[in-house]
A and B are shown apart, each in its own frame.
Chain A
Amino acid sequence: MKLPLSTIVTIVILAFGALAPFIFGGQPYILYVLTLALCYTIPAIGVNILYGYTGLVSLGHMGFAGVGAYTTALLMKDVGLPFVPSLFGGMFAAGFLGFLVGIPCLRLRSHYFIIVTLAVGMILFTLFNNLDGLTGGAEGLPGIPRPGNIEIGSFVLDFRSLTGFYVLTFIIAALIFGLQYILVRSDFGRSLSSLRQDESLAAARGVNVFGHKLAAFVLSTAIAGVGGAMKVLFLRAAAPLSFDMNESINLMMMLILGGAGYLVGPVIGAITFIALPEFLRVAAEMRLIFFGFVLLILARFAPRGICGAAEVAYRKLTNKEANVVRYT
């Protein structure tokens, strides 16, 4: 059975991720960086659904991640709920907010929609920062608990340990990745792609443009909420600056770097963006200047990111013809 390249790549990445605790068992730092990368992969998948497949740019998505993060954190810390209900709480809060924001805003043209998302992100940041009584405000919210242990027979999964939490994050990221996979290959996913390519034509063909956009937006914000929750659970502290405009912009850039519209784009983008600088610990400013140039080059020569460039290379090497309609 001949598998498409994308499926092979996906399987390899998933296998690598699953085996990581064993490969890097003796190097907690690497495991740490991978866990952090996964915490960014999750919202990146959300943005991929929104931008890569539906074509909507959001420059405020980390704001929604923050909503999920603070909700989950407060439910676990102050209310004392266990992990799973708290995570769902965070997910629903972020998704619901996405719903409220999406209804009035999704009918706007692309330029205007981008600016609205920027504004929404900034307002959310202000709320995280100013509502000290609720969120701990600018001083941050320390002491966020880790999920309780799971005991299966004599085997204990301790989420306070790095390995344990990595496994948890990986499972959740894999589930979200699976969700993305199913979505993209479904009729719903195909309709989303048609919206990205030509909205008017899609509408003429009977696609409920607004309904699809709203569903995609809500899904992407809910997923972002999950990502935010995992991030603050990992760091065990929440801070408004973790969810500000810079972070939202970084999230988009990560996705574009990896390759928007590809299933593994967000994964590759997040890992590259997070892991690479950690391993090349040069002076921070040079890092950022370098990344700025990477963005310029990307925009000009490789707008489909690493995955796009890889695909082009693969095509050249194997002399395949381009598929007009593709769902990788």
Chain B
Amino acid sequence: MATAILEQFINGAMMGSIYVLMALGMVLIYGVMHVLNFAHGVLFMVGGYLTHLFFFSWTGSYPLAILGSMVALAAIGIVLERLVFRALRDNLRMQIVSSLGLILIIQNGVVQIWGPHALQMRPTTVETLVKFGQLSFTLQHFVIMGVVAAAVAALYLFLTHTRLGTAMRATSQAPEAAVVVGIDPNRVYTLTFMIACALAGLGGALLGPLFIIFPQMGDAPMLKALSAIVIGGMGSVPGAIVGGLGIGIVESLSTLVIPTDYRDTITFGVLILMLLIRPWGIFGVRVRGED
């Protein structure tokens, strides 16, 4: 029984790292721009497809393909921020409408270009198995956990030790004050979107080869990531990490005790409970007059 719990814990942590990656992107966008971007899931998926494309038709190197897809997604992020979200600042409902429109366009566009069948990609990290006694994982599992840890660290350093990062934090805390001290909000918002989309692309690039690459691959993770940032606190990066890992692990452990067809219900149930008891999340800051 103990090994079962340990194994499920590790399984959960692995899947949780993917949720963290997606949640980081979403929490950045929400924290800095107050935009609820549902399209994050399809951007994650595009990351997977582009990695496949770059790997097979451009460079045979997996790391380069990952880098390529991150750069491409960052570019897409810039375009989206400029063309779609810039004009809709402060208009929550229309932002949601736009992000839903983007999902339709991107998801169905991918199917038009690549077809409905799933794609497979098996770099060496996926083929290499790592065993601990009875438990068996692929090297990719650990790569994912490692890369996510590195990304979190890099993000932290960026936000706290660089001017741009500090500007982002300033804008998220007090947008008008930030303008007063000379920060250009447009630059900050574009940068935020870029980083968030690059993170989404990274997630897709890591997860895609481990399993398969298909048009709906980002849908469920996006909902989990959304739950993660709500539970963790909608403007909080540590919240996203705790939330993402937490959901992954809880989901995984829950399969030991409840019928698995209700696994999603657990996540959403926790989400609803959190919203009812402490809507600003574990690490969020309660703002008076706003709840």
A22 close to B (CB within 8 Å): no
Contact of A112 among B101, B111, B230 (CB under 8 A): B230
Instruction: State in angstroms the CA–CA spacing of A105 and B275 once bound together.
Output: 8
A289 close to B (CB within 8 Å): yes
Q: Are A111 and B234 in contact (CB under 8 A)?
A: yes
B120 close to A (CB within 8 Å): no
Contact of B92 among A110, A118, A120, A253 (CB under 8 A): A110
Say yes or no: A115-B275 contact (C-beta < 8 A), given A123-B268, A123-B269, A285-B111.
Answer: yes
| B234 CB contacts on chain A under 8 angstroms | 111
Contact of A299 among B98, B230, B262, B265 (CB under 8 A): B98
B272 close to A (CB within 8 Å): yes
| A299 CB contacts on chain B under 8 angstroms | 88, 94-95, 97-98, 101
Say yes or no: A303-B94 contact (C-beta < 8 A), given A292-B103, A293-B101.
Answer: yes
| A116 CB contacts on chain B under 8 angstroms | 271-272, 275
A298 close to B (CB within 8 Å): yes
Instruction: State in angstroms the CA–CA spacing of A285 and B105 once bound together.
Output: 9
Q: Are B104 and A288 in contact (CB under 8 A)?
A: yes
B159 close to A (CB within 8 Å): no
Encode contact with B along A102-133: 1 for CB under 8 Å, 0 otherwise. 00110111111011101110110010011000
B1 close to A (CB within 8 Å): no
Q: Are A112 and B100 in contact (CB under 8 A)?
A: no
A179 close to B (CB within 8 Å): no
Number of chain A residues whose Cβ lies closer than 8 Å to a Cβ of chain B: 37
A16 close to B (CB within 8 Å): no
Instruction: State in angstroms the CA–CA spacing of A107 and B94 once bound together.
Output: 22
Instruction: State in angstroms the CA–CA spacing of A256 and B101 once bound together.
Output: 12
A294 close to B (CB within 8 Å): yes
A35 CB, min distance to chain B CBs, angstroms:
26
B140 CB, min distance to chain A CBs, angstroms:
29
Q: Are B265 and A126 in contact (CB under 8 A)?
A: yes
| A130 CB contacts on chain B under 8 angstroms | 261-262
In chain A, what residue has the closest Cβ to B103? Answer: A292
A207 CB, min distance to chain B CBs, angstroms:
18
A50 close to B (CB within 8 Å): no
| A157 CB contacts on chain B under 8 angstroms | none
B96 close to A (CB within 8 Å): yes
Q: Are B275 and A112 in contact (CB under 8 A)?
A: yes
Say yes or no: A115-B103 contact (C-beta < 8 A), given A253-B97, A288-B108, A300-B87.
Answer: no
Instruction: State in angstroms the CA–CA spacing of A162 and B111 once bound together.
Output: 36
A63 CB, min distance to chain B CBs, angstroms:
11
A119 CB, min distance to chain B CBs, angstroms:
4
Q: Are A300 and B98 in contact (CB under 8 A)?
A: yes
Q: Are B108 and A285 in contact (CB under 8 A)?
A: yes
| A303 CB contacts on chain B under 8 angstroms | 91, 93-94, 97
Instruction: State in angstroms the CA–CA spacing of A104 and B230 once bound together.
Output: 17
Q: Are A115 and B226 in contact (CB under 8 A)?
A: yes
Encode contact with B along A277-293: 1 for CB under 8 Å, 0 otherwise. 00000000110110111
A135 CB, min distance to chain B CBs, angstroms:
13
Say yes or no: A108-B104 contact (C-beta < 8 A), given A115-B230, A120-B272, A122-B268.
Answer: no
| A296 CB contacts on chain B under 8 angstroms | 84, 98, 101-102, 105
A275 close to B (CB within 8 Å): no
B36 close to A (CB within 8 Å): yes
Instruction: State in angstroms the CA–CA spacing of A122 and B219 once bound together.
Output: 13
| B269 CB contacts on chain A under 8 angstroms | 123
In chain B, what residue has the closest Cβ to A115? Answer: B230
Instruction: State in angstroms the CA–CA spacing of A105 and B103 once bound together.
Output: 27
Encode contact with A along B19-51: 1 for CB under 8 Å, 0 otherwise. 000000000000000001000000000000000
Instruction: State in angstroms the CA–CA spacing of A277 and B112 once bound together.
Output: 18
Say yes or no: A295-B98 contact (C-beta < 8 A), given A110-B92, A115-B226, A122-B223.
Answer: yes
Say yes or no: A294-B101 contact (C-beta < 8 A), given A122-B268, A123-B268.
Answer: yes
Q: Are B261 and A295 in contact (CB under 8 A)?
A: no
Encode contact with B along A200-231: 1 for CB under 8 Å, 0 otherwise. 00000000000000000000000000000000
Interface centre among B92, B108, B269 (most CB of A within 10 A): B108
Mind listing 20 A-B residue pairs with CB under 8 Å? A57-B96, A108-B275, A108-B291, A111-B234, A112-B230, A116-B275, A123-B264, A123-B269, A126-B262, A249-B100, A256-B97, A285-B108, A286-B108, A289-B104, A295-B97, A295-B104, A296-B98, A296-B105, A299-B88, A299-B94
Interface pairs A-B: 4 shortest CB-CB: A295-B101, A292-B104, A292-B105, A119-B268
